[in-house]
Amino acid sequence: MSMETLSASIASGQNLQSILRENRVFSPDAGFAAKAHVQSLEEYRAIYARSIADPEAFWAEAARELDWFQPWSRVLDWKLPEARWFVDGKLNLCHNCVDRHAVGTRSEKTALLWVGEPSDEVRRISYRELHEQVQRAANGLKSLGIRKGDRVAIYMGMTPELAIAVLACARIGAVHSVIFGGFAASAIADRVNDAQCVAILTQDGSWRRGAEIPLKATVDQALAQTPSVKHVVVLRRTGSAIAMQAGRDHWWHELIDSVQPVCAAEPMDSEDPLYILYTSGTTGKPKGLVHTTGGYGVQTYLTTKYIFDLREEDVYWCTADIGWVTGHSYVVYGPLANGATVLMYEGAPNYPDFSRFWKIIEEHKVTVFYTAPTAIRAFMKWGDEHVERNDLSSLRLLGTVGEPINPEAWMWYREKIGGGRCPIVDTWWQTETGGIMVAPMPGAVPTKPGSATLPFFGIEPDVVDRSGNPVPAGSGGLLVIRRPWPSMARTVYGDAERYRKTYWSDVPGCYFTGDGARRDEDGYLWLMGRVDDVINVSGHRLGTMEVESALVAHAKVAEAAVVGRPDALKGQAIVAFVTLETEHSKPESLPALKDELKQWVTQEIGALARPEEIRFADVLPKTRSGKIMRRLLRELATTGSIVGDTTTLEDFSSLAKLREDEES
């Protein structure tokens, strides 16, 4: 379903029906709370109330924790859908992430702690060293004629130089457009052409699961269709032979050796664009969101500080690739603005074996770990023995982002990774929101498995019907945000009308997230899945999350995706695609297991949600960022073929496999 038909689907004004009830509650540990930035629910509520009574005062106070070259004259100019935050203020985010730590007491503190994939290669880059390297990279870009406002594509692996490239762009005011290093040439060309990038920063290759991904060769293919690109800068990482075109292609190491190590940070207007980033493509063709400088810097800084409850001695690891918004906000800008030690790992969680992440945590005494539900479900599927081999006692806080987390996966994460002692922050946000919007304050807010809990300070979410009226507690509706926030995307690059129409036209006066949610009697938010994916069974509108969570709670199920298929009797019938735990994938037992699972769902959440059909799959189709693409499964279940946008699909063989299964 596209955004165009979405309006029709919610026009009925009917709310989502919620059928899942999760009653477990975990209060913050007293020892954790005693050292936390926010120490009790009362304290959280008091700060939140103040932040909502006067958001401009709240955000201005937060903004004062950053360095500004020139103060703002007004905190906010708002004329829906156009926001300007910290009007007339001047600052530079590279300066805030690097310089201010490099010259102070943190100068010798490790900023980036990098672990390579092939061996146990480690690089520790202090804030002082980062300062020098970023300035060299910035001067290197300048020496190629790259200037403030130019768009620069970055297509690299997870090397320290990727973070340095991002910061170097920010330093000179070039607008970066990071393209995930797994995308094909056509996806690079689309993004480079959309933004008219003048340069591409890349690598010879990068390591992933023991194999080399040939990044430069892929860029070379894309370059045949990208006339705006004048320069390509290539980091040597794998040492493989690559083609270099004289005049256009430059080695990173030669470029930075030939320049001075000092480059002043460009004073940027608060509303100058910082980057363009394309969404994951879960619901359709990716949108190129534009983020600006001041508000984005303030919200990513403040959310990192409070939600990960950062302490000076933390070793902070967010496993997201910098190619996604999570990597932008919570690998680079947020933690570095806080002066944190950021761990970056180059490769896959299952290389050379399934314990790689846990070995890294043990070896580097990681304290804060932030990952995605899709990864957690994979860890569960691989088996507990891979986790139990390592000492994870350094961990003190866990986080998740990217999809709703099934209560079963949440409990496993808490017990097996967190040893029952670490708070879990389930963080709801989007590429469009730039920073975290809903998440528990870990020392203050009791958590419930599967709930993102309560809003961050200054954020006013609501669950409403199509006219914008709040729905009663306990029933599902549309998740909206009632007022502008600093790190909101300002536009879709080159398409202001698409921005207005997609986000600011469905629900009067509100930002519409595209997600369905329910608010419980304690005010906690439970994300129910995409509104596009809602299934209408006999007039009952069900979100995907609850049925999937019921399936995942079955001991034999590792992962599940449910979609609706037209049904003459019920309107829609539920088709469930299910991936089994490894030891249960034996073919003989499958027909009986289908009945068992249908029965299980009936018993867990009711006959209404009973799947009409269960289909087993080795893998589900996912975006490159790891999210299940239900729209493809829906097409497959409905028409038997797929014509929708698959440019962000991770593994084409997953679809081929599903089609084969259908034919057999």
The dihedral sign for the CA sequence 370, 371, 377, 383 = negative
CB of 2 to Mg ion, least distance (A): 13
Task: Kindly identify the residues of this chain, within the stretch 245-304, that bind Mg ion according to CB under 5 A.
Answer: 279
Q: How far is the CB of 534 from ligand ATP (least distance, A)?
A: 13
User: 181, 281, 323, 434: which one contacts ligand ATP (CB under 6 A)?
Assistant: 281
- Report if residue 428 touches ligand ATP, rule: CB under 6 A: yes
Q: Cβ-count burial of 619 within 10 angstroms (0-12 exposed, 13-18 middle, 19+ buried)?
A: middle
Cβ neighbors of 428 (< 8 A, separation 6 or more) are: 401, 436, 437, 438, 439, 452, 515, 525, 527
User: Total residues at the site for ligand ATP (CB under 6 A)?
Assistant: 25
Strand order from edge to edge, sheet including 461-464: 461-464, 476-481, 511-519, 525-530
Contact criterion met (CB below 8 Å) for 442 and 36: yes
x/- binding map, residues 301-340, to Mg ion, per CB under 5 A? Answer: ----------------------------------------
Nearer to Mg ion, 194 or 403 (CB): 403
513 binds ligand ATP (CB under 6 A): yes
Q: Where are the beta strands (DSSP E) in 46-198?
A: 74-79, 82-87, 90-91, 110-115, 122-126, 151-155, 175-178
The answer to the question of residue 329 lying near ligand ATP (CB under 6 A) is no
CA distance 213 to 200: 17
Applying CB under 6 A, among 133, 206, 270, 283 the residue interacting with ligand ATP is 283
Q: Which residue, 126 or 279, has its beta carbon nearer to Mg ion?
A: 279
Residues facing 480 on adjacent strands: 462, 512
Instruction: Verify binding: residue 426, ligand ATP, rule CB under 6 A.
Output: yes
Neighbours of 633 (CB within 10 A): 25
Does 430 bind ligand ATP (CB under 6 A)? Our answer is yes
Across 491-627, the runs of DSSP E, i.e. the strands, are: 491-492, 511-519, 525-530, 535-537, 540-542, 557-567, 571-580, 613-616
Nearest CA to 270 out of 8, 92, 498 is that of: 92
Decide which of Mg ion, ligand ATP, none touches 562; Cβ closer than 5 to 8 Å per partner kind. Answer: none
Closest to ligand ATP by CB, 123 vs 498, is 498
Assess whether the previous peptide bond of 352 is cis (omega < 30° from 0). yes
Residue from 218, 238, 293, 431 in contact with ligand ATP (CB under 6 A): 431
Q: Nearest distance from residue 400's CB to ligand ATP, in Å?
A: 6
Task: Find the distance separating the first CA and the last CA of the chain, reported in whole Å.
Answer: 28
Report in angstroms how near the CB of residue 287 gets to Mg ion at its nearest: 8
Q: Which does 377 bind (CB under 5 to 8 A by kind): ligand ATP, Mg ion, none?
A: none
Q: Which residue's C-beta sits nearest to Mg ion?
A: 279
The span of 153-161, 401-409, 574-582, 602-610 binding ligand ATP (CB under 6 A) equals: 401-409
Which pairs count as long-range contacts for 215-221, CB under 8 Å and 24+ apart, including other chains? 215/155, 215/156, 215/157, 215/181, 216/242, 216/243, 217/242, 217/243, 218/155, 218/184, 218/185, 218/188, 219/155, 219/185, 219/188, 221/185
**402 touching ligand ATP, by CB under 6 A:** yes
Helix, strand or coil for residue 189?
A: helix
Per CB under 6 A, contacts with ligand ATP among 437-466 are: 452
Of the candidates 136, 291, 364, 627, which one interacts with ligand ATP according to CB under 6 A? 627
For residue 640, how far is the Cα from the chain centroid? 31
319 counts as binding ligand ATP under rule CB under 6 A: no
Member of 527, 558, 561, 637 binding ligand ATP (CB under 6 A)? 527
Out of 427, 491, 544, 579, the residue judged to bind ligand ATP by CB under 6 A: 427
Which residues lie near Mg ion (CB under 5 A)? 279
Which residues lie near ligand ATP (CB under 6 A)? 279-284, 286, 325, 401-404, 426-428, 430-431, 452, 513-515, 527, 530, 625, 627
